[in-house]
Amino acid sequence: MDVQNVISVKDVKKYFKVYMDKGSTLKERVLFVGRNKHEKRQVLNGISFEIPKGQAVGLIGKNGCGKSTTLKLLTRILKPNEGSVSINGRVSSLIELGAGFHPDMSGRENIYINASIFGLTREETEEKLEDIIRFSELEEFIDNPVRTYSSGMYMRLAFAVAINVNADVLLIDEILAVGDVSFQKKCFERLREIKEEGTTIVIVSHDMNQMYNICDRLIWIEEGRIREDGAPRLVGMHYLDSMEDERIARLADESREKLVREGAHSILELTKNVHPEAKRFGSQEVYFTRVDIFDKDGKPCHIFDTGDAAELRIGFATSMEKPKVNFNMDFVKDNWQYCYGSCFTKAGDELNVLEPEGEIIFRIEELMLLPGKYYLDIGINGEHGELYDNVRNVLQITVRDYIHNEFGPCTFRHSWEIKQ
């Protein structure tokens, strides 16, 4: 291991034997040999990474991808089947809420037991005892049996011990979601402090905001392998996009038949790429007949770079006699954050008078959306505010990533300058 690296994981593989119907006694195992059939379930399949001193690293991925197994390998609760795991220094961990606590002992007694597990002597624990109790905010309950504690009180006590053992490495698995808002904030502030003091932190969480606020780096694990390792917001965006793609693919399979059954053919006919969560409202006296988006060369396109030209072409029709209408469109991020909207006619101007059918074109000279996935909403309103047609999430576009120093839904033309 490089002397600057506190953690080194090299080509680690880990599998578990999963028994179909394992006998629970020796007699059962002898008499019913067939019950001992098992399969080898590969959880980690050759992962490697190194973490230098003082860095905070987040492990992300779907349930069952191997995040918690990796953390347990770092704590030495588990051993790898192949490869090596090396850690320099004292390790403190919060892998399972209240692990190591005896339910019939008081909070004070459990502090001594838990601290000894982390390698503190009784004298060292006594020096830190008041700090631990004060941080946990459990002064009036500290001499009560911990079986009387709520899950939030368990977490307070466990976290208070773990961060006061002067560990070189702190490992955390999902427990920061427990506890009230003020205590969570207190935990984050304390994590930042111990990170600045040089403690290396490895955290598993599904809360991406936690990861962005704490971590210097994210490691995305997928099916037992490292898919991506890098800057938190970039890796996080790729991970969330992948999760959204899977969700939409599943939803598309489920919803297309449902749309047909419910007589929603009109939505399906708007575009070949209709989004499975598309919803339609309005009287349909004036209605959309088709919609699609094209690139600068006039080719159908749903993947753009920030700054690309794009063109929306939207067909419409009406059975009314020369209705006056206004058209509008909106881009909404896949987390339902409103990003941009525009209407054909601004307030105070005369509305357009429509023929029985036609096409409206919305040209985008520069698509100034930052990388991510966006839904398109389109609408038609009458001169008195009548809702003729409105289709939400009619299609989705993807803006690819090449920008690494801007965040949010949109970008500005800008420059940085330092004067010294």
Please report whether residue 194 resides in a domain.
yes
CA distance 190 to 186: 6
Kindly state the average pLDDT of the residues 39-66: 91
**Do 234 and 266 have their domain in common?**
no
Q: What is the CATH number of the domain that holds 110?
A: 3.40.50.300
Give yes or no for a contact between 156 and 138, defined as CB atoms under 8 angstroms apart.
yes
Q: For residue 124, give both structure tokens.
A: 């060292």
Task: Give how far Cα 240 sits from Cα of 235, 245, 246, 323, 401, Å.
Answer: 9, 9, 10, 43, 13
pLDDT tens-digit map of 145-159: 999 988 788 888 888
Within a domain: 27: yes
Q: Is residue 406 part of a domain?
A: no
Answer yes or no: do 291 and 232 share one domain.
no
- Same domain as 111, residue 13: yes
Query: Looking at the domain assignment, is residue 204 inside a domain?
Result: yes
Is the same domain home to 141 and 281? no
Each residue of 370-407: pLDDT tens digit?
988 899 999 999 988 899 999 999 999 999 876 667 88
At residue 414, the 3 state secondary structure works out as coil
Q: Are residue 197 and residue 322 in the same domain, yes or no?
A: no
Q: What global pTM score does this model have?
A: 0.71
Please give the tally of structural domains in the chain: 2
Mean pLDDT, rounded, for 165-193: 80
Is 359 part of a structural domain of the chain?
yes
Residue 336 lies inside a defined structural domain of this protein: yes
* Range of the structural domain that residue 146 is part of: 5-241
In a shared domain, residues 235 and 274: no
In a domain, 199, yes or no: yes
349: DSSP letter: S
Examine the domain organization and report whether 217 and 267 are in the same domain: no
**407 lies in a domain?**
no
One domain, residues 232 and 360: no
User: Are 58 and 153 in the same domain?
Assistant: yes
At 288, which CATH number? 2.70.50.60
